[in-house]
């Protein structure tokens, strides 16, 4: 069974859009992992290219969105470019 907090984290991330495509971070395939341990949440994410000028802002935005959820005491976001993002990671248009 999926942790309700994990579901809420995922929901929060679907409310953050990639400003270039208008699609959310989950649909873009930018979220590589969500770990929930009690009231601590760790999100592992990437960007469409390693030198993306939005990298820092996306990281802070995800941190802020997750930290604002009820029941979250600590939100940590880790960036990784391994494996690198490719357009194949995008969900089909819904």
Per CB under 8 A, residues contacting other proteins are 16-17, 19-22, 48-65, 68, 79, 86-88, 90
Please say which residue, 3 or 49, places its beta carbon nearer to other proteins: 49
Cα 29 vs. chain centroid, distance in angstroms? Answer: 9
Q: Is the dihedral of CA 60, 79, 67, 70 positive or negative?
A: positive
In angstroms, give the least distance from the CB of 35 to other proteins. 18
Please say which residue, 5 or 62, places its beta carbon nearer to other proteins: 62
In angstroms, give the least distance from the CB of 39 to other proteins. 19
């Amino acid at each position: 069974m999926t942790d309700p907090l994990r579901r809420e984290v995922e929901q929060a991330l679907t409310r953050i859009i990639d400003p270039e495509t208008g699609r959310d971070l989950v649909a873009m395939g930018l979220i590589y992992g969500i770990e929930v341990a009690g009231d601590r949440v760790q999100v592992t994410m990437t960007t469409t290219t390693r030198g993306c000028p939005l990298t820092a802002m996306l990281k802070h935005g995800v941190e802020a969105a997750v930290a604002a959820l009820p029941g979250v005491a600590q939100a940590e976001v880790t960036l990784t470019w391994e494996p690198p993002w490719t357009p194949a990671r995008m969900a089909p248009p819904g």
